């Protein structure tokens, strides 16, 4: 349910790099003043101290910002200015010039002022250099599909915010292929009951604008082993639906506000897509409705939206905020979502109905945990611990959810590398048609570097699936030599169900 706090930008974690860059901004924003260090005393026995004003500034690439140093405890008020790495330049008078070109959406430059009276004393400030937020959006329809082995699925990409509606299609994870026109072809055979595939459309105008869709390739007959796997897959799909709902709801509010001049927050009315543009009308007055080109609709009934609106939708969801809304997608979703992030603690809930693969479930999910950000030189660290509890019910199906996740990532600004370590514990129980299932002490640990499997010594996968108290499945992992993928799977008596796979 990570997207209930972190804005999931319809990217199969091509957005991860951007999110971690934003972490740099967040950590800087948490500072209430320039970091100063004091040193030995002057002959008059006063302590020499240096501070910088402003402590933090946000500016565009190529722009300038004047910094001022205040020196106390010495008659020599002069300082020596410097900026770390290739993060721009600063004059002897403290005028910082941001780099004209960025390789990423943003960077945080560290400005240092060293006392000339005592070089052991210094202060630092931050300059956040951010590209202007792109208005290009890519949406794929349908967003999800289920097909059989050897079948095809036609996808359509709707591009808004630019006259150039061209996209480049690709399969970002899983097997199969997709044509330049968006026609996905599933593999003729699959080695397990079902596999998950993600396709993406990347805007030619703005490669940072990416739309994704999920394809489930599923055998016609479902074995009882699939019932055992549902304890992991159903909560994940429910969770993903909540992530997408919050993401799209935030985008809709910011787009409606922008179309009304951007001076006030607009949470009601209608956004209508025509070709690659949206128009706004003021009705209805009790909800914000989005009507897409293909005729599909989404509705957001917003009861609370508090936070920092000085940036874009990313900025809002990455900072302390409260967002409470009902999301209605006819035939797919009717849920009430509350997401609260404050002082490093998160508390999120999802309650309502969701339709997954033609089956409607009632979900009541709570996520609680902590989030910590830190910076050490060029490294930005993100540490998130969360517990996912609640219930999911459906026709002849009921589940008690009891999962715990730990997510730790490091972004290196020097080489733009992005490393992620994840640990997930599953101990949920569920009943299907009177048969009891359970995930017993399942733990899955993975390490990725730029999306590829990394540090295999860290990888672990163990635990069991039980049916009426009898073990029917064993969790494990390994390298599949046929596709050079690091895979996590459940081994049943007659088949192997792959839960996830990453290139190695």
Output the pTM of the full model: 0.57
E strand spans, 204-319:
210-218, 269-274, 277-281, 288-291, 297-306
Dihedral angle, C-alpha 209, 213, 214, 218, nearest 10 °: -140
Q: Is residue 360 part of a domain?
A: yes
SS3 489: strand
Are 328 and 253 in the same domain? yes
What is the rounded CA–CA span in Å between residue 179 and residue 154? 9
Are 117 and 232 in the same domain? no
Dihedral angle, C-alpha 118, 124, 125, 127, nearest 10 °: 110
Per-position pLDDT tens, the chain of length 504: 333 223 222 222 222 322 222 222 222 222 333 444 444 434 445 688 888 888 777 777 888 889 999 898 888 999 999 998 778 999 999 999 988 877 766 778 889 999 998 888 888 888 877 766 557 788 888 888 888 888 888 998 888 877 888 899 998 888 889 998 899 988 877 766 678 888 999 888 777 788 888 888 876 543 455 676 777 777 777 777 777 888 888 989 999 998 888 888 999 999 998 877 889 999 999 999 999 888 889 999 999 999 988 888 878 887 899 999 999 988 888 999 999 999 999 999 999 998 877 788 999 999 999 988 888 888 888 899 999 999 999 888 899 999 999 999 998 888 888 899 999 999 999 998 888 999 999 999 999 998 889 999 999 999 999 999 999 899 999 998 887 889 999 988 878 888 888 888
* Burial (CB count <10 Å: 0-12, 13-18, 19+), residue 341: buried
Q: Is residue 5 part of a domain?
A: no
- Segment (H or E) for 4: none
Last residue of a domain, one of 130, 154, 180: 130
pLDDT (0 to 100) of residue 11: 22
Are 119 and 142 in the same domain? no
What is the rounded CA–CA span in Å between residue 98 and residue 62? 5
Name the strands in the sheet holding 167-173, side by side, starting at the edge strand that comes first in the sequence. Answer: 144-147, 210-218, 194-203, 167-173
Are 403 and 284 in the same domain? yes
Q: Is residue 450 part of a domain?
A: yes
458 DSSP 8-state letter: T
What is the rounded CA–CA span in Å between residue 251 and residue 209? 13
Are 211 and 250 in the same domain? no
Are 113 and 189 in the same domain? no
- Segment (H or E) for 369: strand 359-376
Strands 210-218, 144-147: pairing kind: parallel
Q: Is residue 6 part of a domain?
A: no
pLDDT (0 to 100) of residue 225: 57
Q: Is residue 19 part of a domain?
A: no
Structural domain of 183: 137-218
What is the rounded CA–CA span in Å between residue 314 and residue 434? 44
What is the rounded CA–CA span in Å between residue 167 and residue 183? 13
Strands 56-59, 122-130: pairing kind: parallel
Are 234 and 177 in the same domain? no
Are 242 and 125 in the same domain? no
Nearest alpha carbon to residue 13 among 422, 367, 355, 312:
422
What is the rounded CA–CA span in Å between residue 352 and residue 335? 4
Q: Is residue 494 part of a domain?
A: yes
Q: Is residue 3 part of a domain?
A: no
Q: Is residue 432 part of a domain?
A: yes
Which CATH number characterizes residue 210's domain? 2.60.40.60
Last residue of a domain, one of 203, 218, 233: 218
Domain count, the chain: 3
Are 374 and 237 in the same domain? yes
Q: How remote is the C-alpha of 411 from its chain's centroid?
A: 14
pLDDT (0 to 100) of residue 27: 26
Are 48 and 143 in the same domain? no
What is the rounded CA–CA span in Å between residue 346 and residue 325? 17
174 and 197 in contact (C-beta within 8 Å)?
yes
Kindly give, in sequence order, each residue whose CB lies less than 8 Å from that of residue 415, ignoring residues fewer than 6 positions away. Answer: none
240 and 208 in contact (C-beta within 8 Å)?
no
Last residue of a domain, one of 130, 164, 195: 130
Cα angle value 65/68/70 (rounded, 5°): 165
Are 494 and 401 in the same domain? yes
57 and 413 in contact (C-beta within 8 Å)?
no
Are 293 and 182 in the same domain? no
């Amino acid at each position: 349910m990570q997207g209930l706090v972190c804005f999931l930008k319809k990217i199969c974690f091509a957005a991860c790099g951007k999110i971690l860059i934003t972490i740099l901004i967040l950590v800087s924003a948490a500072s209430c003043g320039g970091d100063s260090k004091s040193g030995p005393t002057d002959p008059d026995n006063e302590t020499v101290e240096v501070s910088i004003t402003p402590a933090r500034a946000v500016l565009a690439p190529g722009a300038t910002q004047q910094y001022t140093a205040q020196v106390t405890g010495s008659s020599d008020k002069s300082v020596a200015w410097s900026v770390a790495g290739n993060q721009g330049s600063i004059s002897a008078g403290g005028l910082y010039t941001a780099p004209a070109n960025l390789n990423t959406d943003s960077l945080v430059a560290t400005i240092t002022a060293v006392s000339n009276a005592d070089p052991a004393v210094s202060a630092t400030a931050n300059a956040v250099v951010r590209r202007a937020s792109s208005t290009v959006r890519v949406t794929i329809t349908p967003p999800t599909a289920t097909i059989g082995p050897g079948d095809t699925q036609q996808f359509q990409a709707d591009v808004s915010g630019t006259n150039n509606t061209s996209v480049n299609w690709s399969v970002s994870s899983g097997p199969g292929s997709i044509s330049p026109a968006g026609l996905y072809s599933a593999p003729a055979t699959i080695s397990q009951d079902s596999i998950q595939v993600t396709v993406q459309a990347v805007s030619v105008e703005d490669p940072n604008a990416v739309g994704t869709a999920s394809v489930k390739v599923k055998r016609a007959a479902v074995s009882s082993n699939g019932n055992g796997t549902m304890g992991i897959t159903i909560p994940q799909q429910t969770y993903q639906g909540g992530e997408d709902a919050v993401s799209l709801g935030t985008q809709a509010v910011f787009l409606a506000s922008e179309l009304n001049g951007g001076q006030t927050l607009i949470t009601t009315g209608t956004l209508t897509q025509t070709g690659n543009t949206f128009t706004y009308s003021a009705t209805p007055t009790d909800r914000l409705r989005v009507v897409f080109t293909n005729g599909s609709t989404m509705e957001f009934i917003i009861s609370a939206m508090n936070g920092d609106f000085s940036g874009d939708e990313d900025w809002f969801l990455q900072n302390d905020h409260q967002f409470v809304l009902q999301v209605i997608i006819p035939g797919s979703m009717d849920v009430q979502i509350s997401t609260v992030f404050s002082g490093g603690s998160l508390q999120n809930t999802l309650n309502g109905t969701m339709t997954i693969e033609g089956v409607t479930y009632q979900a009541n999910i709570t996520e609680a945990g902590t989030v910590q950000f830190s910076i050490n030189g060029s490294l930005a660290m993100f540490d998130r611990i969360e517990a996912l509890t609640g219930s999911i019910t459906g026709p002849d199906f009921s589940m008690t959810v009891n999962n715990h996740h730990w997510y730790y990532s490091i972004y290196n600004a020097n080489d733009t590398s992005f490393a992620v370590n994840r640990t997930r514990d599953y101990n949920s129980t569920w009943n299907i048609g009177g048969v009891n299932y359970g995930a017993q002490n399942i733990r899955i640990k993975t390490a990725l570097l730029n999306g590829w499997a990394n540090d295999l010594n860290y990888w672990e996968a163990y635990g069991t699936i039980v049916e009426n108290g009898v073990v029917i499945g064993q969790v494990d992992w390994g390298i599949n030599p046929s596709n050079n993928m690091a895979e996590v799977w459940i081994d049943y008596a007659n088949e192997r169900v792959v839960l996830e796979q990453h290139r190695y």
